[in-house]
């Protein structure tokens, strides 16, 4: 009979644990060997995708030798260029970013990284200028915080400018529909986005024609408060109106009579009426 059962069980557990650790070590060693061989074959076969995959997996298990790290850096450069040419810009930027963060980074790598980030940002802005806001935002979203630290601020500024122009266009249409031509003219002139300027061109032509017609008829705009003014002298009109009011006429009839006496006619202008000759 075993007088020390607990000791026997402890020794068995230790032996089992040692066996498991040895097996795991053998598996890891075998996987490292497999990845090492795969890295070498992929370099020989110029299979840059396999080279990057095996090299990065191997680096997760152990420190790479200098030759291995150099091979991985070379494959990252080539594969990043392949992705970029194929239009797979996010994959290209992510690969190049990992290369720039490695000891094998060169000045040329850093320069190319900065150039590609700038080109991606410029492409987003170009789509935005063409009226493709969602595409512009998607392109900017592909950039990481490292690649574009002010990405979220830039996206928000593009959205704010877009919606401001959209509101100005809507206001101009509402003013047009109400016959408030000068206010519509001001709203259109505040548009500062190329796509919205082009989109508003038919409306702008209509508003400009209307305001030119009003100006030709002597109906202008007060420079201080944008209210329509009469080409009949206001002092004379006001004096005649007061005279008719003292004679018992109501305000509207006093206004009509005063305008006729001064050789003017009443012209409806949106919600207002003006007296012009």
Write out pLDDT tens, residues 140-195: 999 998 898 989 999 998 999 999 899 989 999 998 998 888 889 988 998 989 99
The pLDDT of residue 11: 63
Same domain, 44 and 98: yes
Q: Could you tell me the CA-to-CA distances from 228 to 189, 249, 260, 276 in Å, in that order?
A: 18, 25, 19, 11
Nearest to 242 by CA among 226, 223, 225, 261: 261
CB atoms inside a 10 Å sphere around CB 113:
20
Q: Output the six-digit token pair for 84.
A: 């970029």
Cβ–Cβ < 8 Å for 71, 51: yes
Is 145 a member of any domain?
no
The pLDDT of residue 261: 83
Same domain, 160 and 115: no
The pLDDT of residue 228: 46
Distance CA 196, CA 194 (A): 6
Is 134 a member of any domain?
no
Same domain, 39 and 99: yes
Residue range of the domain that includes 118: 27-123
Is 21 a member of any domain?
no
Cβ–Cβ < 8 Å for 148, 132: no
Same domain, 50 and 92: yes
The residue among 216, 236, 260 that closes a domain is: 216
Cβ–Cβ < 8 Å for 101, 109: no
Same domain, 200 and 227: no
The residue among 105, 123, 141 that closes a domain is: 123
The pLDDT of residue 221: 58
The pLDDT of residue 115: 95
The pLDDT of residue 26: 44
Distance CA 137, CA 206 (A): 33
Q: Which segments of the chain have a pLDDT < 50?
A: 1, 22-23, 26-28, 222-229, 270-271
The residue among 201, 216, 231 that closes a domain is: 216
Is 154 a member of any domain?
yes
Q: Which residues of 66-81 are buried (b: 16+ CB within 10 A; e: fewer)?
A: eebbebbbbbbbebbb
């Amino acid at each position: 009979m075993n007088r020390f059962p607990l000791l026997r069980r402890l020794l068995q557990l230790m032996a089992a644990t040692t066996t498991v650790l040895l097996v795991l070590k053998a598996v890891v060693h075998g996987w490292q060997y497999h990845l090492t061989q795969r890295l070498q074959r992929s370099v020989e076969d110029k299979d840059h995708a396999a080279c990057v995959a095996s090299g990065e997996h191997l680096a997760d298990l152990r420190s790479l030798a200098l030759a291995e790290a150099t091979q991985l850096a070379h494959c990252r450069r080539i594969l990043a260029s392949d992705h970029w040419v194929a239009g797979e810009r996010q994959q290209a930027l992510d690969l190049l970013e990992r290369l720039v963060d490695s000891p094998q980074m060169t000045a040329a790598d850093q320069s190319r990284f900065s150039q590609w980030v700038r080109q991606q940002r410029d492409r987003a802005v170009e789509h935005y200028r063409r009226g493709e806001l969602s595409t512009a935002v998607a392109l900017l979203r592909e950039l990481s915080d490292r690649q574009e630290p002010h990405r979220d601020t830039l996206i928000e500024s593009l959205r704010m400018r877009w919606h401001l122009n959209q509101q100005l266009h809507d206001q101009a249409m509402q003013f047009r529909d109400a016959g408030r031509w000068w206010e519509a003219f001001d709203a259109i002139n505040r548009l500062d986005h190329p796509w919205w300027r082009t989109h508003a061109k038919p409306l702008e032509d209509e508003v400009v024609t209307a305001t030119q017609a009003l100006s030709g008829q002597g109906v202008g705009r007060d420079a201080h408060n944008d209210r329509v003014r009469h080409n009949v002298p206001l002092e004379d009109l006001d004096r005649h109106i007061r005279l008719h009011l003292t004679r018992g006429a109501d305000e509207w009839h006093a206004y009509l009579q005063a305008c006729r006496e001064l050789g003017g006619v009443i012209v409806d202008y949106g919600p207002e009426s003006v007296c012009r000759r």
